[in-house]
């Protein structure tokens, strides 16, 4: 789904949370938007149906914040934690 569509759904109160997950240790991160029905929706590239990939967690958090999420759930395998979307900084 495109960022514009996800923003509209966020404003309509469809989403419960936003989750960042690594693609692989060398490729980066993806964002999944979790609805109140526990359905996960991925963020697509602007000009294709291919899922958008972020090189850094900071980049993914920036997009989540721009959409409107205050918190981002970060998932690494079985380990999950919650970060303030604007507070994540890459070193």
The full DSSP string for 17-54 is EEEEEEEETTTEEEEEEEETTS-EEEPBPTTSSSBP-B
Ranges in the chain, pLDDT < 70: 87-91
Rounded to 10 deg, the angle between the 57-67 and 3-11 helix axes is: 50
Q: Phi and psi dihedrals of 53, rounded to 5?
A: -115, 140
pLDDT of residue 88: 63
pLDDT of residue 91: 45
pLDDT of residue 40: 96
């Amino acid at each position: 789904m495109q960022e514009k569509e996800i923003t509209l759904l966020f404003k309509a109160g469809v989403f419960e949370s936003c989750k960042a997950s690594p693609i692989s240790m060398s490729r980066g991160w993806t964002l999944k938007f979790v609805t109140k029905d526990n359905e996960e929706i991925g963020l697509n590239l602007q000009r294709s149906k291919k899922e958008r990939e972020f090189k850094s967690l900071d980049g993914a958090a920036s997009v989540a914040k721009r959409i409107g999420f205050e918190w981002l759930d970060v998932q690494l395998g079985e380990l999950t934690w919650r970060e303030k979307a604007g507070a994540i900084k890459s070193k």
